[in-house]
Chains A and B, each alone.
Chain A
Amino acid sequence: MPDSPIICILAAMAGMRRPTFLILSALALGPLHGYAVIKEVARLSDDSVHLAAGTLYAALDRLSDEGLVEVDREQTVDGRLRRYYRLTATGTAALAAEAEQMQRDARMVTQRLRGAGPAGAPSPA
């Protein structure tokens, strides 16, 4: 499902940065290796976020230090080492909490925008 504009704005304002949120979201369905994470993040963001490998591994290092992701397994395919990452229980909980916060904030903003009426003017009581 493509991100709605409000979700994009709220992700930018939330404690978790958008690339981090998307990386954790990409791992939510199961372990993935680096390139698969990059592709999944692009798909989830409707091609608006393209992670560079350097950025991805800096984020994975940080998330690993914070205990939100861990290495699942290693595999060598066509001579290339692939390391798969998965969400930890803490990572799953953090992602869920972040998504719930963003939904609450999105509902609040949408209601306020509806209540404001045309051109931002408050609607009469």
Chain B
Amino acid sequence: MPDDIRTTRLARGYRRWLMAYPRAYRRERGPEIIATLLDAADPHRSRPAAREAAFLLRHGLSRRVAEAGRRAFVVAAFAAVLGGLSGIALGSWLAWRDVDPMAPDKATAISLAPTVLPFPFEDRAGQFGRSTFWNPYSKNTLHGGTGVRVGRTSVTGFVPPGATVEQVVAGVHQRMRAQGWQNVQTKVHRTGSSTSPLVKAEVTGTRAGYLAAVQIAPALTFDLMWAEPPGHLRDTILGGLAGMLLGALFGLCTSIRMRRYGPRMQRVYSGLCVATLLMLAPACLGNIPTATGSLLANTHRNGPGPSVYWGGFVMYGAEPLAILSLVPILAIIVGCVWPRPAPARTSTTA
């Protein structure tokens, strides 16, 4: 490859890595740095060395951090956390959007009971609302928490006399697997003394969008709920990552943009950031994901159930505050896009 083409390609490569530096710095120092890089490069090189590229990236980003100031990164960090937790809620909510908010109907539960229970069962089903203290949408509904999709329809089975819990568990497990239920899992809990132990068990499985949970305690109950939709975990994680990234960018960009104002407006901006944080904190903290839903919104109560990761935003008080947080956020956006008036000129007379 001719030397001039090689040098041109090399220079182009270095210019790309120089994008890590702030624009003003690039304009002032870029030609000098490129010249030094070309002088120091191996004569046969046509692409930047990995070591050089890594150093350019590192120092360029350090330069950006130094110019943006510490406040920008504090704001970006908090915004990333709030954005991430909000994104988790949004991702989970979107995944659950196509699932019926009401519990599965009684007829379906009765028709599915033979595929789960190898023993006789009652020919009527009950629906128990997941009326939870933290969810205002779950009040006065027999069909489960509207808004969090965890209502259940129950059928009571009859355990054969003399059958042990272990025998019942084995029978249910075998029946479910034979009838096409997937992910059939068993959990046995033993409490009490070794001479008179208390044994409880749960068998769960999924099929055609339903989640079956059989509780043997030792009374036999079959609960039919909606299973977590496919892609729920993926959408929740993607929502969290997207929210974190957007939050960080929003925090960083608004903080840098607001530096064009004087100290008074800077204080107003800081106040708006604090207001946003205080308003979103209850919902976000309550929505920290756990194995059974959200930190303050457990959706596995009264036995196993599907996980829902937006419960924190439904909680009493958290939801209106989270909605109100749009006000300071909009005020920040307006402050950033508002054209800054030109400095006032004082007229002078000769």
Q: Is B256 positioned at the interface, with any CB of A under 8 Å from its CB?
A: no
Contact present for B62 and A52 (CB under 8 Å): no
Q: Interface on A for B, CB 8 Å cutoff?
A: 33-35, 38, 52-58, 61, 80-83
B36 on the A face (CB < 8 A): yes
The 6 closest A-B pairs by CB, nearest first: A54-B55, A34-B36, A80-B35, A35-B39, A52-B55, A54-B59
Q: Which B positions have Cβ atoms within 8 angstroms of A?
A: 29, 31-40, 51-52, 55-60, 62-63
Question: Are B39 and A54 touching (Cβ within 8 A)?
Answer: no
In the complex, what residues of A have CB within 8 A of residue B51's CB? 52
| Alpha-carbon separation in the docked complex, A53 to B39 (Å) | 10
Total of A-B residue pairs, C-beta within 8 Å? 51
Closest-CB distance, B44 to chain A (whole angstroms): 18
Pick the contact of A58: B34, B38, B59 (CB < 8 A).
B59
- 15 residue pairs of the A-B complex, CB under 8 angstroms, read A38-B40, A52-B55, A53-B56, A54-B52, A54-B55, A54-B57, A54-B58, A55-B59, A56-B36, A57-B29, A57-B33, A58-B59, A61-B63, A80-B39, A81-B35
Instruction: Give bound CA distance, A58 to B64, whole Å.
Output: 12
Q: Does the CB pair A53–B52 fall under 8 Å? A: yes
Q: How far is the CA of A35 from the CA of B40 in the complex (A)?
A: 6
Q: How far is the CA of A90 from the CA of B29 in the complex (A)?
A: 24
Q: Are A82 and B32 in contact (CB under 8 A)?
A: yes
Give Cα A76 to B255, complex, Å. Answer: 39
Q: A54-B57, A80-B34 are in contact. List 8 more A-B contacts (CB 8 A).
A: A34-B36, A34-B39, A35-B39, A52-B52, A52-B55, A53-B56, A55-B55, A81-B32
Contacts of A61 in B (CB 8 A): 63
Q: How far is the CA of A53 from the CA of B58 in the complex (A)?
A: 12
A82–B55 touching, CB < 8 Å = no
Closest to A37 in B: B36
CA distance A89 to B118 in the complex (A): 93
Cα(A58)–Cα(B60), bound, Å: 9
- Among B29, B32, B34, find the residue whose CB has the most chain A CB atoms closer than 10 A: B32
